[in-house]
Chains A and B, each alone.
Chain A
Amino acid sequence: MMLLECKNLCKDFDGKKVLKNINLSIGRGKIVGILGKNGMGKTTLIKLINDLLTPTSGEVLINGKKPGVESKKAISFLPERTYLDKGMTINEVLKFFVEFYDNFNLERAYKLLEDLSLDKEQKIIKMSKGMQEKLQLVLVMSRDADLYILDEPLGGVDPATRDYILDTILSNFREGASIIITTHLIADIERILDEVVFIDKGEIALVSSADELRDKTKLSIDEEFRRLFKC
């Protein structure tokens, strides 16, 4: 059974087709990059997988089941935006995650937070946006999930922080789990990808193993992407 399957998935907004007939399967133990220019449907696809949007037609299956309580236990999701209650302290947020997610590893979270030198009594509202994003990454990567979904984790951050984010992802995900990363900053992440999915105008333009694509085209994934989707 595949970890994630999208079958004939479509999403319309006011009659405008944002995603068109997406068919996609993702197995276990893979790092998959969903790559595309801005506004091509990457985030919409991620939202559909996470039950944040309702499909116009088609279906999403996680471990063979429609999105629900079981799929939410299996997926650890990092959205583009800050989703925490800003009135909470870091300790309160940790407590919240421990209460709701059986697979939340508090020790790992403490260790990762130590690296950031964050005061656990600090309120989220008093943290910079960058720090809030790092805190969310820590929370997401502290879960022993089957599938980590990271929506634009590198968007709007400096190169040093990008390295921190990628290192945190690679050194903390559970063995046998898969990771989906959406981004338009392909050069930064292509070294870690096993598979790539190119999305263009709401459709899947290409699905390939990262190595096969590089061998076939003799180009880096970034170069191939630029060649295919040149404006």
Chain B
Amino acid sequence: MLKKLLKYDLRWVGKIIIVFYSLGLIFSLFALAFANINESFFIQLISKICAGIAMSMVISALFNSVLRSWVRFIQNIYKDESYLTHTLPVEKNTIFLSKFLSAIITCLVSLIVIAVCVLISYYSVDMVNFFKMAITEYYSLIIIALLEIIFMIQVGYLGIVFGYKQNQNKLLKSIISSFVIYIVLSGLSLLLVYIYSLIFHSGNNIFNQANISLANAKDYLYFALGVYVVYNVGLYFACIKLFNTGVDVD
């Protein structure tokens, strides 16, 4: 059943985002093509404009992936379409997991498309080397970025589940709950990293340094990675637990 639900969720989210992906890739190719015609100012300007449009398209795709995952969640779980969702012979856990996975998949694909568009638009040997270095040296930073996006998505879901447990001003209460949860947990993660630095890096504390090298920050990145993993697992189970107590559709 998960596979079936996931197919429909991905199709719904994807049918708009694919337009952004396509435009992003097309303008990236334009940018690359113009960049290689000649060195004239006008042609290079067109190349830069195309690259700019490509970047705005793919970044919009990423924002859209997150926003549409929340919209889909509200429509499917609490609005008109919920009358179908909740009468399907499917476990509540599976319904939630499908929404969660579809959001992760679309965000991951969006990040990949962003990387591909950057690589095409600004293609050069230096850029290729930068990507190689990013993958080998900064992979923990890339994973943290992905975990941060998943964290944001889940905070949104938890806020929505909280908000829609109320009988009035559900959307407003969802937004406020999400915002409060995000701020509190983000503040807490910063505090945890600070405590970690006091305990394990008292002589080499990044909170006291003007310039931070990757070598110095590596341990912190791994620690932050651990914090995000714990957050995401905790948030997932909190959402499931709250969701399984039942819903009150509009």
Contact = CB atoms under 8 A, between A and B. Distances in A.
Interface stretch (B22-30, B85-93, B134-142): B85-93
B4 A100 contact: yes
A99 B4 contact: yes
Given A54-B245, A100-B89, A77 B83 contact: yes
A87 B81 CA distance: 12
A79 interface: yes
Contact of A52 (B4, B12, B83): B83
Given A53-B249, A54-B246, A77 B87 contact: yes
B247 A69 contact: no
B248 interface: yes
B125 to A, nearest CB: 45
Contacts of B80: 81-83
B209 interface: no
B187 to A, nearest CB: 32
B81 A72 contact: no
Nearest to A81: B80
Interface string B35-64: 000000000000000000000000000000
A164 B106 CA distance: 44
A85 interface: yes
B86 A51 contact: yes
Interface in A43-90: 47, 50-54, 68-70, 72-73, 75, 77, 79, 81-85, 87
A14 interface: yes
A63 to B, nearest CB: 13
Contacts of A85: 8, 12, 81
Number of contact residues on A: which range applies? 20 to 34
Interface in B121-170: 167-168
Contacts of A75: 87
Contact of A69 (B8, B83, B90): B90
30 contacts: A14-B167, A47-B249, A50-B83, A50-B86, A51-B246, A52-B82, A52-B86, A52-B248, A52-B249, A53-B246, A53-B247, A54-B248, A69-B90, A69-B91, A73-B89, A77-B83, A79-B83, A81-B80, A82-B80, A83-B80, A83-B81, A83-B82, A83-B84, A84-B81, A85-B8, A85-B81, A96-B8, A99-B4, A100-B90, A101-B89
Interface of A: 13-14, 47, 50-54, 68-70, 72-73, 75, 77, 79, 81-85, 87, 96, 99-101
A87 B247 CA distance: 25
Given A50-B87, A100-B4, A100-B88, A14 B81 contact: no
Contacts of B4: 99-100
Contact of B247 (A52, A81, A82): A52
Given A84-B84, A100-B1, 6 more contacts: A14-B167, A51-B246, A54-B247, A77-B83, A82-B80, A101-B89
Interface string B88-114: 111100000000000000000000000
B167 A53 contact: no
B155 to A, nearest CB: 23
A69 B89 contact: yes
A3 B12 CA distance: 36
Pick the most buried of A52, A82, A84: most chain B CB atoms within 10 A of its CB.
Answer: A52
A123 B183 CA distance: 42
Given A79-B83, A81-B80, A96-B8, A72 B246 contact: no
A46 to B, nearest CB: 10
Pick the most buried of A53, A70, A100: most chain B CB atoms within 10 A of its CB.
Answer: A100
Contacts of A54: 245-248
B72 to A, nearest CB: 10
Contacts of B167: 13-14
A51 B87 contact: yes
B249 to A, nearest CB: 5
